Structure 1
């Protein structure tokens, strides 16, 4: 088991120019400012978007599938819980200390040249709308954490009664293969778009 923090950081830095190119191209009504302060990044802010006409600001948290370069996955993992030094911590989806308004889910990341990413998909997810939708389906933070506690030590996929595993999503426990032992809610990208909480940017 190992943590890929440094390798991921290097990949993130290589990915940034491509993401900025897409934001400039497709977010016509917004200016954007990249955040370099660690404190703000820890609050779930990688990018500050500003609406040109209203001046309203939105905080964007970039989440990239850096473990799956040159692959296209139909799903994305939303972190519910993880461990640090043996202590269980709150994952980013329900973490109240995060100020995130939107997630930029970066998938289908392709690298046709050494140390350069040449294309990717970006799906923008409204965090508040997603949490509200899950709550309406009975998948509140409290409910999900109870299910996780009841299945402590499980490794792998767990289907939920309230989600269609094939078309919507499921829980996934990484107890054996990752040092942080995250428990993620795996949701299909097309499902997020279907329920109106996400839009594909590119």
Structure 2
């Protein structure tokens, strides 16, 4: 098994260029910073789960950008990482990792040309669907509706590892269509909680389809985020 970390990092960097030009530049935000410009401290911010920071209406946003880059045509779900392997040791995934400084996720579904991620260029990206979500509100949603929290997840993941069953597993609750997924073909063998996009839409602070000419609003909360000329 091979780690795709460097390929993913390249793809994320290209996606970041697209978002800087066609999303963030059209929002009414202040003090925007992308951590990759903060060399030599770039990786320190990366490990803390900070891709960009900005201010909107007096609120500071510390944002981790997450993408479905492996799927060129998009998918109707998003995977929240619960645990992964590094140097043959299990580590806590980013969703419940308390060492992360992340306050918000920018979840992204790029529609792109089917090139290898290592070869991806900005011009290969045709459209990106984006949702901004509060990390706390997403965790609160799972607890309120399904009694899922960090402690329960640790036990659930331990059981998944012991069972050694892979790919799509059981749902997180009898009343839910969100489910666990254990990937065996990546070196990191991540265990994820896969959540449906329709649920994420309901929780999104803003929701856009991003093209090169303008962002197209997908929820009623989005309008106030756009500069006047892009509404």
**TM-score, reference length from structure 1:** 0.87
Structure 1 distance, partners of 2:143, 2:107, is: 21
Residue 134 (1) aligns with residue 145 (2):
no
- Other structure's SS at 1:62 match: strand
Tell me, yes or no, if the aligned pair for 1:82 and 1:180 is still in contact at 8 Å. yes
Alignment of 1:1-202 (within 5 A): 1-20=1-20, 21-25=22-26, 27-36=27-36, 37-51=42-56, 53-54=57-58, 56-69=59-72, 71-111=73-113, 115=121, 116=123, 117-136=125-144, 137-152=146-161, 153-160=164-171, 162=173, 164=175, 168-174=177-183, 176-194=184-202, 196-197=203-204, 199-202=206-209
Rounded to whole Å, the distance in 2 between the matches of 1:39 and 1:107 is 26
**SS of equivalent residue, structure 1 residue 118:** strand
Query: Compared with structure 1, are the counterparts of its residues 164 and 50 closer, same or farther at alpha carbon in structure 2 (3 Å cutoff)?
Result: same
More helix by share: 2
CA contact (8 A) 1:124 1:201 kept: no
CA deviations 1:109-161 (Å, max 9, x no partner) are 32399732232111111101111111222111221221222232120112235
Partners of 1:90 and 1:112 in 2: how far apart? 31
Q: Is the 8 A contact 1:192 1:198 kept in 2?
A: no
Q: Which moved more, 1:1-10 or 1:94-103?
A: 1-10
* Cα distance between partner residues in 1 of 2:23 and 2:114: 17
Distance 1:139 1:163 in 2: 13
Specify whether residues 197 and 11 from structure 1 end up closer, same or farther in structure 2 by C-alpha distance, changes over 3 A only: closer
Deviation at 1:190, TM superposition (A): 1.2
TM-superposed CA distance for 1:4, in Å, is 1.1
Structure 1 stretches of at least 4 aligned residues deviating more than 6 Å after TM superposition:
none
- Give ranges in structure 1 of 5+ residues lacking alignment: none
DSSP-derived class of the 1:159 partner: strand
| Aligned residues of 1:163 and 1:170 also touching (Cα < 8 A) | no
Are residues 164 and 123 of structure 1, via their aligned partners in 2, closer, same or farther at CA, if it must alter by over 3 Å? farther
**CA RMSD, Structure 1 to Structure 2 (Å):** 2.1
5+ long unaligned stretches in structure 2:
37-41, 210-231
Separation in 2 of the partners of 1:197 and 1:105? 10
